[in-house]
């Protein structure tokens, strides 16, 4: 039903060190020089906040390695993760002033940043960059809306299954046999981060993971290393036959 925004572009453009779909210099030879000039890298440790909601955000960026999350927090501390940024994902709001949500490094993180003002100028001069950003933003919108179904209508078990299948399918190190075969990967999120993404408590996340393990839908080595013997079965658990959901 939905397309799969995060899946559709590993964007492997050879030795390009950046691999960001939107503005990869290698894919934009004409703009190479202009983009190179406004480009810089930033590193963050797990747990660090990249930008605070409402703060001025004078750059746009794409993830080089690691995972960042977009998070909203209420005054009383309730938080909801509204997006996961994996390598090659883009973050930024050309034409917008402040950040709309906290951007937090969930793992150690390297981002490739472009100063915003000149980036916007380049965008104006280079129509297909705006169009590519539009497509990516539409993908993110689809993913966000898919996630609204998860948050609003799925049970705890379905939520966990949805998240696991999404991570499994995006994980670069996945090992897959057959159409709905075995997948192996490491969870890049703590139970608490998963809870924040799923609108649950960390206790419920833990319990449901234990239940999936007990029922043989998944296997765990340690707390993070996951084996999914039958992805099709997991997708059924997710209440989501057609596709395994989408993320952003």
- Whole-angstrom distance, CA of residue 124 vs CA of residue 143: 27
CB 49 to DNA: min, Å: 15
Q: Please, which residue, 91 or 226, has the CB nearer to a second copy?
A: 91
Contacted by 95, from DNA, a second copy, none: CB < 5 to 8 Å by type: a second copy
CB 56 to DNA: min, Å: 29
Q: Please, which residue, 39 or 207, has the CB nearer to DNA?
A: 207
CB 153 to DNA: min, Å: 9
What's the N-to-C CA distance of the chain in angstroms?
A: 17
Contacted by 202, from a second copy, DNA, none: CB < 5 to 8 Å by type: DNA
Contacted by 86, from a second copy, DNA, none: CB < 5 to 8 Å by type: none
Applying CB under 8 A, the residues found at the interface with a second copy are 1-3, 53-54, 70, 72, 74-76, 78-80, 82-83, 93-97, 100-101, 123-124, 127, 130-131, 133-135, 137-138, 140-142, 144-149, 151-154, 198-199, 239-241
Q: Please, which residue, 65 or 190, has the CB nearer to a second copy?
A: 190
Q: What Å distances lie between residue 187 and 116, 176, 194, 227, CA to CA?
A: 33, 16, 10, 10
Q: Please, which residue, 176 or 202, has the CB nearer to DNA?
A: 202
- Using an 8 Å Cβ cutoff, are 18 and 25 in contact? yes
Q: Please, which residue, 73 or 182, has the CB nearer to a second copy?
A: 73
CB 138 to DNA: min, Å: 30
Q: Please, which residue, 204 or 226, has the CB nearer to a second copy?
A: 204
- Whole-angstrom distance, CA of residue 48 vs CA of residue 51: 9
Q: Nearest CA to 118 among 109, 110, 126?
A: 126
- Whole-angstrom distance, CA of residue 163 vs CA of residue 64: 22
Q: Nearest CA to 166 among 53, 48, 248?
A: 248
Q: Please, which residue, 72 or 201, has the CB nearer to DNA?
A: 201
Contacted by 206, from DNA, a second copy, none: CB < 5 to 8 Å by type: DNA
Applying CB under 7 A, the residues found at the interface with DNA are 155-157, 190-192, 199-207, 209-210, 220, 222-224
CA–chain centroid gap for 1, Å, is 20
CB 77 to DNA: min, Å: 10
CB 223 to a second copy: min, Å: 24
Name the one residue in this structure whose structure tokens are 């590993």.
10
- Using an 8 Å Cβ cutoff, are 20 and 65 in contact? no
């Amino acid at each position: 039903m939905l397309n799969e925004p995060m899946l559709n572009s590993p964007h492997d453009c050879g030795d390009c060190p950046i691999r960001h779909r939107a503005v990869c210099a290698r894919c934009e030879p004409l703009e190479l020089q202009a983009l190179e000039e406004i480009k810089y890298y930033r590193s963050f440790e797990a747990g660090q906040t990249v930008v605070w909601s409402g703060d001025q955000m004078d750059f746009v960026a794409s993830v080089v390695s690691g995972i960042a999350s977009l998070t909203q927090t209420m005054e009383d501390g309730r938080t909801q993760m509204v997006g996961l940024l994996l390598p090659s994902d883009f973050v930024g709001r050309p034409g917008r002033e402040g950040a709309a949500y906290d951007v937090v490094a969930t793992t150690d993180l390297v981002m490739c940043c472009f100063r915003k003002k000149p980036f916007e100028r380049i965008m104006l001069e280079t129509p297909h960059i705006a169009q590519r950003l539009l497509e990516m933003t539409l993908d993110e919108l689809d993913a966000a809306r898919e996630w609204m179904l998860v948050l609003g209508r799925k049970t705890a078990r379905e939520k966990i299954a949805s998240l696991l299948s999404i991570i499994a399918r995006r994980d670069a190190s996945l090992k897959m046999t057959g159409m709905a075969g075995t997948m192996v990967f490491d969870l890049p999120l703590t139970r608490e981060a998963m809870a924040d993404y799923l609108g649950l408590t960390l206790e419920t996340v833990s319990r449901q993971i234990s239940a999936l393990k007990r029922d043989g839908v998944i296997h765990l080595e340690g707390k993070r290393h996951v084996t999914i013997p039958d992805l099709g079965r997991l997708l059924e658990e997710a209440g989501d036959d057609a596709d395994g959901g989408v993320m952003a």
